[in-house]
Amino acid sequence: MTDTAPPDADKRPTGHACIAGYLKTLGTGPGVYRMLDAKNAVLYVGKARNLKARVSSYARPAGHSPRIARMIHDTAAMMFLTTRTETEALLLEQNLIKQLKPRYNVLLRDDKSFPNILVSREHGFPQIKKHRGAKREKGAYYGPFASAGAVNRTLNQLQKVFLLRNCSDATFDSRTRPCLLYQIKRCSAPCVGYIAEADYAALVGDAERFLQGKTTKVQAQLARQMEAASQALEFERAAALRDRIRALTQVQSAQGINPKGVAEADIVALHLDAGQACVQVFFIRAHQNWGNRDYYPRLGGTESPAEVLQAFVGQFYDSKEPPRQLILSHGIEDPDLMAEALSDKAGRKIEILVPQRGEKAELVAGALRNARESLARKMSETATQAKLLKGVAEAFGLDGPPQRIEVYDNSHIQGAHAVGAMIVAGPEGLMKAQYRKFNIKGEDLTPGDDFGMMKEVLTRRFKRLLKEDPDRENGAWPDLLLIDGGAGQVSAVHEIMAELGVEDIAMVGVAKGVDRDAGKEEFHRTGARPMALRHNDPILYFIQRLRDEAHRFAIGAHRQKRAKAVGATPLDDVPGVGATRKRALLTHFGSAKAVSRANLADLKAVDGISDSLAETIYAFFHDRG
């Protein structure tokens, strides 16, 4: 792989002339190209089977869509990476798009990981739980599910059917009597010996067969057990089995679509309207519908369905394991190449299908309907949001509707575990990917000093902006700051911003009004008298929602920090001791204090602790100062 950078010249031609200048040095092999503007910001990333042929198409002065014509006009330099194969170029292109987020590429904006159900194998009585992230823990993983809610609903029903524990190993080992879940028939109470290990293992096997799609076998087995219990006059056991069968039926009915002919696939459907797009993804695993999720890629406005879906599939599966089949609503630009790239990455064959009839086509039609309805709702919400932002501008005398509103709040208990929080809203509503939390670091702050905490948060926030985006070109600078507080808070924030040399951003303090009653808020601005909005003004409700969201986010961040501090032990600072080894040490010795007092031989006796790590732990507690 080779990389060719733009020439270092102050006066470079732009547009078609700039692009044509590279043709003499380009080869005809595969690779990736980047188009850059006059400030070397990346405009577009693309891949080509033949770099010279692809770049020459941009050098032509006519025949381009408005979006591509604008991109060519802005191009002042190009960069090239040659690759051995076109598949390698495709994978590299998707990596660069996700990393650089070029202005003219189709961008997948929400790319979070999906939760799975994990049946843990690290204990004699396996735990069933939700898992998100890297699959490092031993056990069987089932997923992905579309959302945490879909996992929680399934786990809730599986507890009713299979009575598996969801408590942590530490909780399991410390119990002396069954918890509430046993009382409400959600757990078989293995923690206190109410079920034998072999019988519990049978329940785990049933649960895994269900998650593998073998539901009819599980139901038939439960039905036989219920009939046998009834004939043996064990009516209480028969009733319990009946309840489990009923719960299993509820799981299946809640899943809605359960295709018979599709064992493992993602259904990906695209709907385009007025330059906007919604991609709906349904997750089919083990012949079961494990939920769906919608995405709204950023478009330039003139892309074809094939181009949008090609970009979506490439970026979506860049960090996710693809299923055996991708069933699409539209064809993509390079289906064979994409299938080859995904197959190479997954280590098994991946098929890309665009069905025209049959059950698969019906699944796509259902996903398309969902995509169409979701985009209609999104466009309606966007129109409402635009009206609200226009109203905010009119209410506070702004030059125009704000494109980015940042709302700040603090949370602490008498100064302890202090956290600052920032939420962001814009034309499309809350921008949760832009939320930030700030662990308050100032050691000279008086506990509970809200002014001091706000100063630290804003100083850190805007120093970073000044460093990373001094020209304000990346859309990261706010048009409006909302501060939770009155005239004093606004004055303090104004001083902070003046010290940083940032005095052109509008700022409004939101103070609780008379009797701290919601609806009687007062709004404070620098150099202006306090004002209020009508009690039933939609703009007032909008600002209340933003303030409440900031408060919710700040409290959540504070609780996470406090919980982490409560669960902290001196073992957290020992090199080489992670969560699993920490758990092993606490299980063996009972407490961190007992670990600190243990001799070297006892430490070496702990399962999973090597001799060298035992010596490290011993030295940590006994050779300090």
3-state helix, strand, coil in the chain (%, to 5): 45, 20, 35
18 touches 75 (CB < 8 A)? yes
Amino acid at 233: L
- For residues 121 and 40, membership in a common domain is answered with no
Q: What average pLDDT does this structure show over 304-322?
A: 92
- pLDDT bucket at 565, cuts 50 / 70 / 90: low
In whole angstroms, give the CA distance from residue 263 to residue 14. 52
- For residues 87 and 128, membership in a common domain is answered with no
Give domain status of residue 92, yes or no. Answer: yes
- State yes or no: pLDDT of 256 exceeds 50: no
Residue matched to tokens 């049959």: 358
Q: Higher pLDDT residue, 472 or 51?
A: 51
- For residues 137 and 190, membership in a common domain is answered with yes
- pLDDT bucket at 554, cuts 50 / 70 / 90: confident
- For residues 441 and 355, membership in a common domain is answered with no
Comparing 23-37, 88-102, 389-403, 507-521, the range with the smallest average pLDDT is 507-521
C-beta atoms surrounding 310 within 10 Å: 24
Comparing 89-98, 196-205, 280-289, 513-522, the range with the smallest average pLDDT is 513-522
CATH number of the domain where residue 577 is located: 1.10.150.20
456 touches 436 (CB < 8 A)? no
- State yes or no: pLDDT of 72 exceeds 60: yes
Give domain status of residue 105, yes or no. Answer: no
- For residues 556 and 574, membership in a common domain is answered with no
C-beta atoms surrounding 163 within 10 Å: 23
- State yes or no: pLDDT of 108 exceeds 70: yes
Q: What is the pLDDT of residue 514?
A: 61
Residue matched to tokens 């939390």: 437
Comparing 5-14, 361-370, 474-483, 587-596, the range with the smallest average pLDDT is 5-14
- pLDDT bucket at 250, cuts 50 / 70 / 90: low
Q: What residues form DSSP beta bridges with 4?
A: 80
The answer to whether the Cα torsion of 154, 157, 160, 166 is positive or negative is positive
Query: HSE on the CB side for 554, CA within 13 Å?
Result: 25
- State yes or no: pLDDT of 272 exceeds 90: yes
Q: For all residues of the chain together, what is the average pLDDT?
A: 85
Strands of 512-594 (E only): list them: 522-524
Give domain status of residue 395, yes or no. Answer: no
| CA–CA–CA angle 102, 21, 3 (5° rounding) | 55
Helix (H) or strand (E) holding 472: none
Give domain status of residue 399, yes or no. Answer: no
- For residues 559 and 420, membership in a common domain is answered with yes
- The secondary structure of residue 64, as a DSSP letter, is -
Q: What is the pLDDT of residue 185?
A: 82
- pLDDT bucket at 147, cuts 50 / 70 / 90: confident
- Burial pattern 486-518, b for ≥16 Cβ within 10 A else e, equals beebbebbbebbeeeeeeeebbbbbbebeeeee
Q: Which two tokens stand for residue 80?
A: 């090239």
Q: Higher pLDDT residue, 9 or 90?
A: 90
Range of the domain at 66: 2-100
Q: What is the pLDDT of residue 568?
A: 60
Query: HSE on the CB side for 275, CA within 13 Å?
Result: 5
Q: Which two tokens stand for residue 202?
A: 């049978």
- For residues 24 and 153, membership in a common domain is answered with no
Give the strand order in the sheet containing 139-142. Answer: 128-131, 116-120, 139-142
Tell me the pLDDT tens digit for each residue of 348-359. 999 999 999 999
- For residues 504 and 593, membership in a common domain is answered with no
- State yes or no: pLDDT of 162 exceeds 90: no
Q: Higher pLDDT residue, 109 or 548?
A: 548
Give domain status of residue 397, yes or no. Answer: no
Give domain status of residue 440, yes or no. Answer: yes
Domain count, the chain: 5
Q: What is the pLDDT of residue 513?
A: 65
15 touches 60 (CB < 8 A)? no
218 touches 210 (CB < 8 A)? yes
Q: Higher pLDDT residue, 253 or 78?
A: 78
- For residues 35 and 54, membership in a common domain is answered with yes
In whole angstroms, give the CA distance from residue 90 to residue 497. 45
Give domain status of residue 396, yes or no. Answer: no
- pLDDT bucket at 59, cuts 50 / 70 / 90: very high
The domain boundary, picked from 530, 546, 564, lies at 564
- pLDDT bucket at 625, cuts 50 / 70 / 90: very low
- For residues 552 and 419, membership in a common domain is answered with yes
Judge if the upstream peptide bond of residue 61 is cis by omega within 30 degrees of 0.
no
Give domain status of residue 263, yes or no. Answer: no
CATH number of the domain where residue 533 is located: 3.30.420.340
The domain boundary, picked from 542, 564, 586, lies at 564
Portion of the chain with pLDDT greater than 90, in percent: 38
Q: What are phi and psi of 28, to 5 degrees?
A: -105, 10
47 touches 93 (CB < 8 A)? yes
- For residues 537 and 608, membership in a common domain is answered with no
Q: What average pLDDT does this structure show over 283-307?
A: 88
- For residues 556 and 425, membership in a common domain is answered with yes
The two counts, helices (H) then strands (E), for the chain are 20, 19
Q: What average pLDDT does this structure show over 391-412?
A: 91
In whole angstroms, give the CA distance from residue 224 to residue 159. 20
522 touches 486 (CB < 8 A)? yes
Q: What is the pLDDT of residue 446?
A: 62
Comparing 88-92, 234-238, 277-281, the range with the smallest average pLDDT is 234-238
CATH number of the domain where residue 12 is located: 3.40.1440.10
Q: Which of 238, 287, 285, 257 is nearest to 369 (CA)?
A: 257
Q: What is the pLDDT of residue 448?
A: 60
In whole angstroms, give the CA distance from residue 485 to residue 478. 19
